Amino acid sequence: MLKRYATDEKGQSVPIAKIYTEQEHPISSDQIDSDAFAITRRLKDAGFEAYIVGGAVRDLLQGKSPKDFDIATSAYPKQVRKLFRNSRIIGRRFRLVHVHYGSGKIIEVSTFRTDDEEGNSNNVFGTLEDDVKRRDFSVNALYFDPQKLHIIDFVDGVKDVRAGKMKSLLPLDRTFKDDPVRMIRAIKYSTGGGFRMGWKLRRAIARHVDELERCPSSRMTEEVFKVLASGRSALLIDEFLKTGLFRHMLPRIDSLLKSGDKKLRGAFFASLEELDLLVREKNEDRKGQMLVRLLGPFLELSLEGTNSVDLFRDTFKSFKQLLEPITPPNHEVEMAVIKLFRQCGIRTPRNIARRPKPSSLEPIAKDKENKTRRSRRRKKRQSAENADVALDV
């Protein structure tokens, strides 16, 4: 095993991380997303550090296929943006880069961060060593070099993955105040990922559950859809209900499920289990399909005493109210209403659903498509001209 060294205050070299080589872990190059591999290679060719980080490394060590390949780098967001034309800088509190590919695929690239003087991980960039100190759990603090096939481990994360346990890297009286969403992730890793949580970690979640009130709606929206797309949403939401987290995620649904209506609760979890089956067997990723499975059990539709247009609008409004405080795109909510109408045998009013707003990157995609078409036409003309010349000869 190799080791990574740093110089301490006395000027001496001390080991700060273990480096697992290709022979010491099960991850192979053919398991790495080709686009993520290309991004890290281009960043390295430009003189930056770049690693696949977090959940992807954890999943690969468990023998799973990651849904996302996030990348951490020493390059600043503007430097990443210059290297990838198909990218966009996002975020206010901390700026990230999303690199866009076909079919809605996005690879997230973040710059190494450090804590500021007040202990906040804002837009303060740092080194790899700084970055690992502000990550949430040991099993998510692994950095993978896809070119060398090395895992860099500062916190014995590989050991924890192999042992099926997780530990917080920050003090438990601080970590959930810094980022309340870590409580949701802890439940996901424990219930959905098979990692054991110690009683101290569970007690800390119980004590800090109300911190979720501070979570912005955009982040909560993202986390809810991650749960629905996990293939284990029924198990996760059941655990969120038990721990009290769900009342801060989807409070109206939480209240309805706790009303004592066993039939409603049974229909709700049966619907989630159907969604989980679709995700696992057919890779279902449409938000509209997820929303109709989440919300459908709470609504009974009938055209008696109304018309389909009014019913569509009333159902859309009910969906939005049930979803508060999360804010999915209106188009996705409309798609969920359309699917619910079809399930109930109700014809959807024509031209009532709005089309999604085009992405600001669509002109880039269209430009590439037009260039490809022009290139094909040019090649056809050249082939035809060559054929004519051959006939003349």
DSSP 8-state class, residue 168: B
Whole-angstrom distance, CA of residue 284 vs CA of residue 292:
13
Q: Is 30 labeled as catalytic in the residue annotation?
A: no
322, 252 in Cβ contact below 8 A? yes
Catalytic residue among 33, 59, 136, 160: 136
Instruction: Quote the DSSP letter at residue 198.
Output: -
How far is it, in rounded angstroms, from Cα 244 to Cα 305?
39
Report how far residue 123's alpha carbon sits from residue 92's, in angstroms, rounded to the nearest whole number. Answer: 8
Q: By three-state DSSP, how is residue 294 classified? A: helix
- H or E element that contains 5: strand 2-7
Helix (H) or strand (E) holding 257: helix 251-257
Q: Which of 33, 70, 131, 276 is catalytic?
A: 70
Residue located via tokens 């909560």: 220
Is residue 210 part of the annotated active site? The answer reads: no
Nearest to 25, CA basis, from 72, 71, 60: 60
The CB density around residue 127, as the number of other CB atoms within 10 Å, is 14
| Identified catalytic residue from 68, 130, 178, 314 | 68
Q: Is position 68 annotated as part of the catalytic site?
A: yes
Q: Cite the active site residues.
A: 68, 70, 136
